[in-house]
């Protein structure tokens, strides 16, 4: 029996409401998350980098159930601060020095959909840094929109289990930018290879990248 098969049921906590009837957080099936988790569980004491806001239940899931060392680096908050301060033009330079981790020291990266909110130059710098951080054969999971969304909000993704995610929106200072085509995404992460790509029913694209060994 593998580690993923031994995962215990999730406990109720503030990030994962006890019943869909109480809170209307939508749930969607993810096709790439289990593959991403398999990469992590194949390593001893895996290191995970999460680019979203801190979600307590996600930290518990990766730390307590999968034994990961977790770094949460909230790039959404960085982006929001640059927008509010009127310093968006400095974001790309900021991202060059954002991550203190050494080259090739991270086994998995949860990029979520942060790239969708970035200008081209900032996205390029972030992709370079993430590629630098990944160990050979490490994995990066990214979400990408396939259609424009008129409202200005970020999305917090909450892991229910290895095949389901909840999502909860919260206010943002910047909306999504132009929708990237698959070829643009692949070019952006040119140092990685696409392992799997899925278009979900909610029009979200999941792309799992691996760093060549």
Residue 73, sorted as left (phi over 0), alpha (psi -120 to 50) or beta, turns out to be beta
Give residues with Cβ within 8 angstroms of 98, minimum separation 6.
Answer: 73, 75, 78, 129
Radius of gyration of the chain (CA): 17
Tokens of 17: 């409401």
Instruction: Write out the chain's pLDDT in tens, 213 residues.
Output: 444 554 544 444 445 444 443 457 899 999 999 999 999 999 999 999 999 999 999 999 999 989 999 999 999 999 999 999 999 999 999 999 999 999 999 999 999 999 999 999 999 999 999 999 999 999 999 999 888 777 789 999 999 999 999 999 999 999 999 889 999 999 999 999 999 999 998 889 999 999 998
CATH class of 32-147+178-210: alpha beta
Helix, strand, coil percentages for the chain (3-state, nearest 5): 30, 30, 40
Tokens of 160: 């229910």
Instruction: Give per-residue pLDDT as tens, 85-137.
Output: 999 999 999 999 999 999 999 999 999 999 999 999 999 999 999 999 999 99
Tell me the whole-structure pTM to 2 decimals. 0.88
User: Are β-strands 69-72 and 47-50 bridged in parallel, bridged antiparallel, or unpaired?
Assistant: parallel
C-alpha to C-alpha distance for 19 and 153, rounded to whole angstroms: 24
Q: How many CA atoms within 13 Å lie on the side-chain side of 81? A: 8
C-alpha to C-alpha distance for 97 and 51, rounded to whole angstroms: 15
In this prediction, residue 23 carries a pLDDT of 56
In the block, tokens 């930018």 appear at 177
In this prediction, residue 148 carries a pLDDT of 76
């Amino acid at each position: 029996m593998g580690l993923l098969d031994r995962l215990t049921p999730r406990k109720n906590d503030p990030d994962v409401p006890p019943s869909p009837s109480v809170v209307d957080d939508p749930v969607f099936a993810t096709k790439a998350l289990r593959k991403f988790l398999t990469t992590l569980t194949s390593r001893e004491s895996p290191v995970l980098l999460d680019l979203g806001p801190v979600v307590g239940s996600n930290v518990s899931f990766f730390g307590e159930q999968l034994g990961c060392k977790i770094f949460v680096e909230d790039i959404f908050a960085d982006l929001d601060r640059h927008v509010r301060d009127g310093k968006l033009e400095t974001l790309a330079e900021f991202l060059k020095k954002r991550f203190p981790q050494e080259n090739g020291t991270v086994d998995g990266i949860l990029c979520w959909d942060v790239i969708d909110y970035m200008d081209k130059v900032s996205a390029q710098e972030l992709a370079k840094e993430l590629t630098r951080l990944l160990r050979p054969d490490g994995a990066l999971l990214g979400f990408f929109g396939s259609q424009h969304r008129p409202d200005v909000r970020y999305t917090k993704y909450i892991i229910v289990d290895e095949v389901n995610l909840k999502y909860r929106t919260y206010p943002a200072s910047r909306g999504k930018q132009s929708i990237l085509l698959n070829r643009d995404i692949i070019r952006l992460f040119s140092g990685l290879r696409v392992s799997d790509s899925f278009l979900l029913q909610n029009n979200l694209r999941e792309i799992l990248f691996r760093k060549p060994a």
